């Protein structure tokens, strides 16, 4: 299934930009300078090494997230774990794109609908965007942008909670259907179409963000926001959630643990320089994240100054950054309607491409595992996108934001850290970091240095294990604003998270039960690459020797 297509640096860079810009909870991931320290720390010790590892893994083995585990069959369950995570994320990620499409349609007007309080959906608590007063010191007040998102788009006022969802709203359902149709025809054509517009989709965010930054720094209070962004609150570094958020954001921004990198790199030329790709793209991603922080906090500082409230009271988490803060920022620009159209077109292109990456991970991973699906790619793709559409309908009801928040909290939090941890252990310890290094040298003619090998075998797994334990020990239930989810909703969320993680032990048990011979023979076959099973038949089991576990 090798396609002669340049999909290395260009397509991966595109995927990284998409994952960052359309992240579902970016403000909570940038609690000023307190976040930058663990973010950069994890980027160096885990993000870049794991990114490099997944690119090399997919490129060498030419398979999807499950098929690559022919190198250590007992760990194939982690492939299904990351496939499930990508599928779960698709359930709510497509809704973000539908919101962006709704905003795009709403932007084709002389006056943006979120700049004043004279609309039918506004409540008496709405405080006009251009009214410079202290009304927002009253916690019951809200901005037109916030009310447009929650009342005009979501109709949250018509729901009392997750137990009162209501029917899907036809406006958002229509937008979601358009997104699904575009996804289907993009995926149906395969990965050949994804690299043709890469330079537009990769560079457009920088143009728009630069314009917003140039505007933002001219506003009163912007410098205060930027100073807050660059300041480091060392007390916040003692909070486990800051470190968990940093580790999770690394996975989201780089695409590690979703199977996307493995799926895309499986189409690379065998000799493609995946080491170069890993360094360049992860560096660009970090710089993009850092640059975007200046844009965000310049406008947060302006809003804090404008409404005379502390900066932390202005910042919003969840999808509020993209659909409340950014629209309010765009409203300050001359010709705001034009910039709104450009901004939401940008979100649409990046969001659809990112969703394509997640869906391609699912499709490629399952097709490589179940070969009969290759003959029916069109039908299988249709089945996947229709399934995600039907589940996503829960997120476009009046109370859909509660379902969205629940999925966002549980689908790819602890579970993705767990998946990446098992992936690192399987490759560096069971397959062997020396064997993996040999594979990379065979591809690019250069053996990974000691830094990479130490990170793969010791540093990254240790910190991932620590973060998984801490995330379980310090679990905080999700909430949306002042709304607290009932116990049964949290139980459903945990079932969702555990369902993906249990793929690892379930498949390991299945593999051990289906292999022939005594327990030791089964274990030997299960932890030995499939192409070396003839050595096991001769009693040569490298993984049963101390040298295998000690070598770096």
Shared domain check, 385 and 264: yes
SS3 399: coil
Give yes or no: residues 549 and 466 share one domain: no
Pairing of strands 483-484, 479-480: antiparallel
- In 3D, which of 301, 114, 136 has the Cα closest to residue 215? 301
The rounded mean pLDDT for the chain is 86
Is there a domain that residue 142 lies in?
A: yes
Residue 142 shares a structural domain with residue 208: yes
Residue 471: inside a domain, yes or no? Answer: yes
Place 191 in a pLDDT band, splitting at 50, 70 and 90: low
Q: Is 70 exceeded by the pLDDT of residue 123?
A: yes
- 168 DSSP β-pair partners: 397
Question: Confidence band (pLDDT; 50, 70, 90) for 3?
Answer: very low
H or E segment to which residue 483 belongs: strand 483-484
pLDDT at residue 166 greater than cutoff 70: yes
**Residues 389-420: pLDDT tens digits?**
999 999 999 999 999 999 999 998 899 999 99
Is residue 480 helix, strand or coil?
A: strand
- 49-64 average pLDDT score: 94
Q: Are residues 22 and 160 in the same domain?
A: yes
Please name which of 291, 265, 286 lies closest in space to residue 44, comparing C-alpha atoms: 286
Residue 479 DSSP label? E
Q: Identify whether 2 is part of a domain.
A: no
353 is in an annotated binding site: yes
Assess whether pLDDT exceeds 50 at residue 479. yes
**Coil/strand/helix, residue 130:** coil
Q: Are residues 539 and 475 in the same domain?
A: no
Together in a domain, 198 and 177: yes
**Mean of the pLDDT values across residues 501-528?**
95
pLDDT of residue 289: 81
Are residues 255 and 343 located together in one domain of the fold?
Answer: yes
Q: Which helix (H) or strand (E) holds 484?
A: strand 483-484
Rounded to an integer, the average pLDDT of 467-477 is 89
Q: Binding site annotation covers 50?
A: no
Tallying the residues shown for the chain, one arrives at 552
What is the band of 503 on the pLDDT scale with cuts at 50, 70, 90? Answer: very high
The most distant pair of C-alpha atoms in the chain lies apart, rounded to whole Å, by: 82
- For residues 6-35, give the mean pLDDT: 44
Q: Which domain holds residue 377?
A: 9-512
Whether the Cβ atoms of residue 329 and residue 299 lie closer than 8 Å to each other: yes
Q: How confident is the model at residue 202 (pLDDT cuts 50, 70, 90)?
A: low
543 shares a domain with 487: no
Number of folded domains in the chain? 2
One domain, residues 16 and 40: yes
What is the pLDDT at residue 130?
44
Q: Please give the pLDDT value at position 29.
A: 44
pLDDT at site 201: 60
246 belongs to a structural domain? yes
Confidence of residue 189 (pLDDT cuts 50, 70, 90): low
- Distance (Å, whole) CA 132 – CA 134: 7
For the beta carbon of residue 174, count every other beta carbon within 10 angstroms. 16
**Has residue 1 been placed in a domain?**
no
Better pLDDT: 216 or 12? 216
Which pLDDT value is given to residue 19?
Answer: 40
Regarding whether 531 and 506 lie in a shared domain, the answer is: no
* 131-158 tens-digit pLDDT: 434 444 455 678 899 999 999 999 999 9
Question: pLDDT band at residue 22, thresholds of 50, 70 and 90?
Answer: very low
Lowest mean pLDDT among 87-91, 413-417, 432-436: 413-417
Distance CA 313, CA 305 (A): 12
Is 266 annotated in a binding site? The answer is no
Q: Which range scores top for mean pLDDT: 32-36, 196-200, 208-212, 423-427?
A: 423-427
Whether 419 and 524 share a structural domain: no
Say whether pLDDT at 10 is over 70. no
> Higher model confidence: residue 206 or residue 61?
61
**Token code pair at residue 495:** 């079932």
Question: Residue 23's pLDDT is what?
Answer: 37
Quick check: is 4 in a domain? no
The predicted model gives 41-58 an average pLDDT of: 94
Q: What percent of the chain has pLDDT over 90?
A: 51
Question: Is residue 541 scored above 60 in pLDDT?
Answer: yes
Residue 316 resides in a domain: yes
- Alpha-carbon distance 178 to 51, whole Å? 32
Assign 3-class secondary structure to 36-81. HHHHHHHHHHHHHHHHHHHHHHHHHHCCCCCHHHHHCHHHHHHHHH
494 exposure class (CB count in 10 Å sphere: 0-12, 13-18, 19+): middle
The pLDDT assigned to 355 comes to: 87
Q: Are residues 57 and 83 in the same domain?
A: yes
Q: Residue 92 above 60 pLDDT? A: yes
User: pLDDT value at position 299?
Assistant: 85
Q: Crossing angle of helices 48-61/274-307, nearest 10°?
A: 140
Which is nearest to 38 in space by CA: 249, 255, 225? 249
**Res. 267: pLDDT tops 90:** no
Query: Residue 174: which residues within 8 A CB-CB, separation 6 or more?
Result: none
Q: Is the pLDDT of residue 73 over 90?
A: yes
Q: Is the pLDDT of residue 495 over 80?
A: yes
- Segment 269-290, tens digit of pLDDT: 899 999 998 998 888 888 888 8
Domain membership of residue 3 (yes or no) is: no
């Amino acid at each position: 299934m090798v396609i002669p297509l340049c999909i290395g640096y260009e397509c991966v860079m595109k995927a990284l930009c998409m994952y960052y810009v359309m992240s579902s909870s970016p403000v909570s991931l940038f609690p000023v300078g307190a976040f930058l320290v663990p973010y950069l720390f994890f980027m160096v010790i885990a993000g870049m090494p794991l990114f490099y590892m997944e690119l090399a893994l997919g490129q060498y083995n030419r398979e999807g997230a499950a098929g690559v585990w022919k190198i250590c069959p007992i760990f194939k369950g982690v492939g299904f774990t990351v496939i499930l995570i990508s599928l779960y994320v698709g359930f709510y990620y497509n809704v973000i794109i539908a919101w962006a499409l709704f905003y795009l349609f709403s932007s084709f007007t002389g006056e943006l609908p979120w700049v004043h309080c004279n609309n039918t959906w506004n409540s008496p608590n709405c405080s006009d965007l251009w009214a410079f007063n202290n009304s927002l010191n009253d916690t019951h007040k809200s901005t037109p942008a916030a009310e447009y998102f929650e009342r005009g788009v979501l109709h949250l006022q018509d729901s009392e909670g997750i137990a009162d969802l209501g029917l899907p709203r036809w406006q958002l359902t229509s937008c979601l259907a358009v997104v699904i149709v575009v996804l289907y025809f993009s995926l149906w054509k395969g990965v050949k179409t994804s690299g043709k517009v890469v330079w537009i989709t990769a560079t457009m965010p920088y143009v728009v963000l630069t314009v917003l930054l140039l505007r933002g720094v001219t506003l009163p209070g912007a410098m205060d926001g930027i100073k807050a962004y660059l300041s480091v609150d060392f007390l916040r570094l003692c909070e486990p959630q800051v470190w968990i958020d940093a580790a999770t954001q690394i996975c989201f921004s780089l695409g590690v643990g979703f199977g996307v990198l493995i799926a895309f790199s499986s189409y690379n030329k065998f000799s493609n320089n995946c080491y170069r790709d890993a360094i360049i793209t992860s560096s660009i991603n970090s710089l993009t994240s850092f640059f975007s922080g200046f844009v965000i906090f310049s406008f947060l500082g302006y809003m804090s100054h404008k409404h005379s409230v502390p900066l932390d009271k202005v910042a919003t988490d969840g999808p509020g950054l993209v659909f409340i803060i950014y629209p309010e920022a765009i409203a300050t620009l001359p010709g705001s309607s034009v910039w709104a159209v450009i901004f939401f077109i940008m979100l649409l292109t990046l969001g659809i491409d990112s969703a394509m990456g997640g869906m391609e991970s699912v499709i490629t991973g399952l097709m490589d595992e179940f070969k009969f699906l290759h003959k029916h790619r069109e039908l299988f793709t249709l089945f996947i996108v229709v399934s995600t559409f039907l589940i996503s309908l829960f997120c476009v009801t009046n109370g859909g934001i509660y379902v969205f928040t629940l999925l966002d909290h549980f689908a790819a939090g602890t579970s993705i850290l767990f998946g990446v941890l098992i992936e690192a252990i399987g490759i560096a310890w069971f397959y062997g970091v020396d064997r993996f290094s040999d594979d990379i040298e065979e591809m690019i003619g250069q053996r990974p240095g000691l830094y990479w090998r130490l990170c793969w075998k010791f540093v990254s797994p240790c910190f991932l294990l620590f973060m998984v334990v801490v995330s379980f020990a310090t679990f905080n239930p999700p909430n949306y604003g002042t709304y607290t989810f009932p116990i049964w909703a949290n139980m459903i969320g945990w079932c969702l998270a555990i369902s993906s993680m249990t793929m690892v032990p379930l498949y390991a048990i299945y593999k051990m039960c289906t292999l022939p011979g005594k327990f030791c023979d089964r274990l030997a076959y299960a932890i030995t690459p499939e192409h070396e099973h003839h050595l096991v038949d001769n009693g040569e089991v490298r993984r049963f020797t101390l040298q295998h576990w000690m070598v770096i």
